[in-house]
Structure 1
Amino acid sequence: MIWWAALPVLGYAGISAWLFSKQRDLIYLPQGTRVDAAQTDFTLARGDVQLHGWVLNPQARNPVIYFGGNAESIQNRREQLGRLLPDHSVYLVSYRGYGASGGAPSEEALFGDALAVFDTVRARHPDEPIAVVGSSLGSGVASYVASRRPVSKLVLVAPFDSLVAVAQAHYPMFPVRWLVKDRFDSAANLHGYEGDALVIRAGRDQVVPPSNTDRLIAAFGKPPRVADLPEADHNTIGGDPGFENALADFLR
């Protein structure tokens, strides 16, 4: 009887242990994003890891850095951003383990890479304002950059307060807050943030609960501009006409 009574506890502990051991496989989804490095036109060395991506309008001023979403093939964003931002140079660099970039993703690595990308862009465009756009997972990366570097404008698309809070919302029966190592705590990074910011949110977001975006917005010191797209969901927000209008208007 004791053995049978212990089975649910053992099963719960086993699933929790599995979630802990496989968490980065569950968080990061680069498999469908891989491309050959020969297809890219930008390279940044980070120790023994090469990051690859693309630069649009390289001779233009006022650069914009785009940090993509999880499982997003950022090369597919080139046509849209080039069309919306013809007077800006736009940098799209794949996270390590994504696209043509080497290495394996982790919060610490992505944050360090993102700062290196910003510093490289600043060296290429001295004394020019640099805007940063982050979508979904990239909103966590962009929030960190904005907390550490002089970002002129910050755009967060389908953002969250922290990755661990979103994960806890999806797995309420497990102690996710104690298991997740890569926390992407954007609310903490942007606590009291006074810069110009735009939050674009999807009314039918099935990944980031509305309350998680609300808590992020509340963390700002200076309230951000908010664009609500009621018909968009987490995966379609970037194709919504309201997204294009809000982004172009804010960065113009």
Structure 2
Amino acid sequence: MTRILSLLALVAALYVTICVAVWVFQRGLIYFPQPLAINHPDTLLKLPVDDTEVLVSIRPHAGPNALIYFGGNAEDVSLNLAEFAQAFPEHALYLLHYRGYAGSAGSPSEEAIQRDALALFDKVHAAHPRTVVMGRSLGSGVAIRLASQRPASRLVLITPFDSLQAFAVRQFPYLPIKWLLKDKFESSKYAPRIRVPTLLIAAEHDEVIPRASTETLYRHFAPGVATLEVIPGKGHNSISESPAYLPLLRAAL
């Protein structure tokens, strides 16, 4: 009996240790900051938010149209600048570098990134009344929450998920994720509040975000608001290589 109790105590201690490690190091499992590849003064905006400063890769353009883009958790968004400039010639471009990414100060978290997103939208929308909000992967969670709070003209979500919390629960079913997770990115909670035309783009062979997660998010939009398109033959990270990718984005804008 003593050996059994000792074994149970060891297992319990190991379980608690794992939970503590997840609590302490979880943001290191979510965010993978990348260095800045394109570092030209005329393509960078320094955006002060609260007590810090974040970088935004930009392509200025006069007129009412603008596009704000939020990338994935391991993406240097500056690498999209040339392609987006060619694809969306009538839009000013603003691509946010999350805190801790590419020279942006601070450390990434859901609430910090959301404050930055709101500050960026308010600045952009003051000059461009038709502002499209676009997010890819993790950035889809940023984009949909922003569009539920600000008057975006359109919303585009690339490889989106219903909830980071729900995703983590599926990945780690034996851990109390609901109590451990700090950054939950509950996109399904914000979807019913969206009233502007929305496009969801999924990859047929997405090895990161299950199709069921994207479809669950899609079902949370009000009828007639959202459209779901699936790009065939591509995975989570290769979706932008498809010939159908940019035409879908252009059509959404």
- Residue aligning to 2:112: 109
Deviations 1:189-244 (A, max 9, x none): 11253320000001111111112111110110134111101211111112222211
State the TM-score, normalizing by the size of structure 1.
0.93
Unaligned runs of 5+ in 2: none
Residue 57 of structure 1 deviates from its aligned partner by 4.0
Residue 35 of structure 1 deviates from its aligned partner by 5.8
Deviations 1:85-108 (A, max 9, x none): 011111112111111211111111
Pairing partner for 2:30 from 27, 32, 40: 27
CA distance in 1 between partners of 2:69 and 2:241 (Å): 16
**Aligned counterparts, 1:203-222, within 5 A:** 203-222=204-223
Aligned partners of 1:198 and 1:225 also within 8 Å: yes
CA distance in 2 between partners of 1:158 and 1:105 (Å): 21
Q: Secondary structure at the match of 2:47?
A: strand
- Residue aligning to 2:49: 46
Q: Secondary structure at the match of 1:29?
A: coil
CA distance in 1 between partners of 2:103 and 2:38 (Å): 6
State the TM-score, normalizing by the size of structure 2.
0.92
CA distance in 1 between partners of 2:126 and 2:72 (Å): 26
Q: Supply the AA of the counterpart residue of 2:120.
A: V
CA distance in 2 between partners of 1:16 and 1:33 (Å): 31
Q: Supply the AA of the counterpart residue of 1:195.
A: V
2:163 is aligned with 1:147: no
**Aligned counterparts, 1:1-252, within 5 A:** 1=3, 2-30=5-33, 32-34=34-36, 40-125=43-128, 128-223=129-224, 224-251=226-253
Q: Supply the AA of the counterpart residue of 1:175.
A: P
Deviations 1:33-85 (A, max 9, x none): 34696654211111331111222142243101111111101111112111110
Instruction: Summarize the Cα distance change of 1:60–1:133 in structure 2 as closer, same or farther, 3 Å threshold.
Output: same
Aligned partners of 1:191 and 1:221 also within 8 Å: yes
Aligned partners of 2:67 and 2:131 also within 8 Å: yes
The root-mean-square deviation of aligned C-alpha atoms, in Å, is: 1.7
Aligned partners of 2:61 and 2:90 also within 8 Å: no
Instruction: Summarize the Cα distance change of 1:104–1:37 in structure 2 as closer, same or farther, 3 Å threshold.
Output: farther
Q: Supply the AA of the counterpart residue of 1:170.
A: Q
Instruction: Summarize the Cα distance change of 1:77–1:36 in structure 2 as closer, same or farther, 3 Å threshold.
Output: closer
Q: Secondary structure at the match of 1:118?
A: helix
Residue 185 of structure 1 deviates from its aligned partner by 0.7
Aligned partners of 2:37 and 2:79 also within 8 Å: no
Deviations 1:109-142 (A, max 9, x none): 11111010000001222xx211100001110000
Instruction: Summarize the Cα distance change of 1:24–1:170 in structure 2 as closer, same or farther, 3 Å threshold.
Output: same
Q: Supply the AA of the counterpart residue of 1:226.
A: L
Aligned partners of 1:194 and 1:222 also within 8 Å: no
Unaligned runs of 5+ in 1: none
Deviates more, 1:145-154 or 1:192-201: 192-201
Deviations 1:163-209 (A, max 9, x none): 11111122222221221011111110112533200000011111111
